[in-house]
A and B are shown apart, each in its own frame.
Chain A
Amino acid sequence: MSADSSAPDRIVIVGASLAGLSAAKTLRAEGYSGVLVLVGDEAHRPYDRPPLSKQVLRRDFGAETTLPQPADLDIVFRLGMAAARLDRTERAVILADGERLPYDRCLVATGTRARPWPNPAEAALDGVATLRTRDDSERLAQRLRDRPARVVLVGGGFISFEVASVCRELDIPVSVLVRDAVPLAGAVGAPLGGFMAEVARGAGVDLRLGASIARMEADPRGRLAALVLEDGGRIETDCLVVAIGAARNIAWLDGAALATDRNGLRCDRFCRALGADGLPAGGIFAAGDVAHWPNPHDGDALVAVEHWGNAVAQGRTAARNMLAPGPDAMVAHDHLADFWSQQFGLTIKLVGLTAGADSFAVVRGSMAERRFLAVFGKAGRTVAAASVDSARWLPAYRAAILQGAPFPPLIGGLDAPRRIETQVLEDAAR
Chain B
Amino acid sequence: MKIETTLAYKNIKGKPLRSAALILLAAFLALSIFGGSLIVLSLQKGLNSYEERLGADIVVVPNEARTKGNVESILLQGIPGYFYMNTSVLDKIRGMDGVEVATPQFYLCSSKAGCCSTAVQIIGYDPETDFVIQPWISNAYGDNLADGTLVLGNHISMPVDRTMTFYGRKLQVVAQLDETGTGLDNAVYANMDTIRQIMDDADAKGFSYHSGVRTDEAISSVMIRVKDGYDIDRVTDDINIHVRRIEATQAKTMISSIAGGLHSVSHIISVLTALIWVLAIVILVIAFTMITNERKKEFAILRVMGASQKMLARQMLTESALISAVGALLGLILASLIAFPFSNLIRARLGLPYLLPGAGVIAALMLGSFAVSVVAGALTAAVSARRLSRCDAALVLREGA
Please determine whether chains A and B interact with each other in the same assembly.
no
- List residues of A whose CB falls within 8 A of some B CB: none
